Amino acid sequence: MDAPLSPHELVRPWRRATIVASLVAAVELILLLGAAALLVAKPLSHALQRQAVAAAYTPAKKAAAFVPPKAQPVGKPKLARSATSILVLNGNGQNGAAAAAAARLHGLGYKIAATTNARRSDYATSVVMYRRGFEAEGVRLARDMHVKVIGPLDGIQTSALHGGQLAVILGAS
């Protein structure tokens, strides 16, 4: 004769069945959430794309026309080329660009304070910068080098000029 089953033996198969059923339900829930995300994402991406295209083709608002201030006459340089000292910085990443430019400037009569690399090597165009009071010398250097961008020292400390009055950062063009 068989022995009667204890209450613990009757419960164990139900526990396993409950755990398996819960895992199956969790997997189904994850699959349903993924399918819902895919169904919602496609129309949402199309709506965002239509909105971006519409924004790209709308005409821009007219801004007030920029009127540059009248340029003040710079005057004549106070220093001769032989007395003007220049820091030459390589900002284009090409090996030897600063040395080659320094040699060219030395051939024009300028003193070279130092040549080194700029902090960045992605300058698109060359820039001539001048210390306060040496704007005319900066304009002359820019004209000699055929550089169109001229401005006061920006991002370079005066002490980094090695006693020079001007700095030129060589760009890609």
Complete DSSP assignment for 130-144: E-TT-HHHHHHHHHH
Instruction: Please give the pLDDT value at position 47.
Output: 86
pLDDT tens-digit map of 3-42: 666 666 555 677 788 888 999 999 999 999 999 888 888 8
Instruction: Please give the pLDDT value at position 17.
Output: 81
CA distance 96 to 86: 17
pLDDT tens-digit map of 95-143: 999 999 999 999 999 999 999 999 888 999 999 999 988 999 999 999 9
**Encoded tokens for 117:** 């690399």
Q: Which residue has the higher pLDDT, 56 or 168?
A: 168
- What predicted TM-score, i.e. pTM, was given to this entire model? 0.58
Instruction: Please give the pLDDT value at position 167.
Output: 93
**Encoded tokens for 109:** 């009569």
The CATH number of 81-170 is which of 3.30.300, 2.60.40, 3.40.50, 3.30.70? Answer: 3.30.70
Q: Which residue has the higher pLDDT, 54 or 86?
A: 86
Q: Report strand pairing: 166-170 vs 127-130.
A: antiparallel
